[in-house]
Amino acid sequence: MERERQDPRNTREFVAMWNEAKEEHLVQRLDEVLDGLSRRGALPALSATQRDMLAHALQLAGDPGAGPAAALSYLESFAVRASANPPGV
C-alpha cells in the first residue's frame, strides 16, 4: 500500500522519511530472501509475524545504539514467551 509522499518541511522530517523508505526497502528485500530460502527448502515458510520479528531484529543489530546483543535479546524474549505458551495449549 503506497502512501502519497509529501516534501519534508525540515531536516527532521527528511530524516524520518529517509529512515521509513530505507526500512520499507529492507523489509521487501528480506521478504524476497526468505521466500527464496523457503522455495529451496532451506527454511520453512514463515508467518508475517515471524518475518516482522526478523526484520526488527535485523534493524536492532544494525543500530549503533542497540547492536547484535540487543537483537539477540529481542529474539530470546520471543523464545521465552513461546516456551511458556506452547501452541495448542
Q: What is the pLDDT of residues 33-76, one digit of tens each?
A: 999 999 999 999 999 989 999 999 999 999 999 999 999 999 99
For the full predicted model, state whether its pTM sits above 0.85: no
Asked if residue 34 belongs to a domain, the reply is yes
pLDDT for 9 beyond 70: yes
**pLDDT at residue number 1:** 46
Asked if residue 6 belongs to a domain, the reply is no
Q: Can you tell me the distance from the alpha carbon of 75 to that of 51, in angstroms, rounded to the nearest whole number?
A: 12
Asked if residue 2 belongs to a domain, the reply is no
Asked if residue 5 belongs to a domain, the reply is no
Report residue 78 CA to chain centroid gap: 14
Domain extent, residue 67, equals 11-84
Helices (H), 1-89: 11-39, 48-62, 68-84
Asked if residue 4 belongs to a domain, the reply is no
Domain count, the chain: 1
Asked if residue 63 belongs to a domain, the reply is yes
Higher pLDDT, residue 29 or 84: 29
Asked if residue 89 belongs to a domain, the reply is no
Asked if residue 1 belongs to a domain, the reply is no
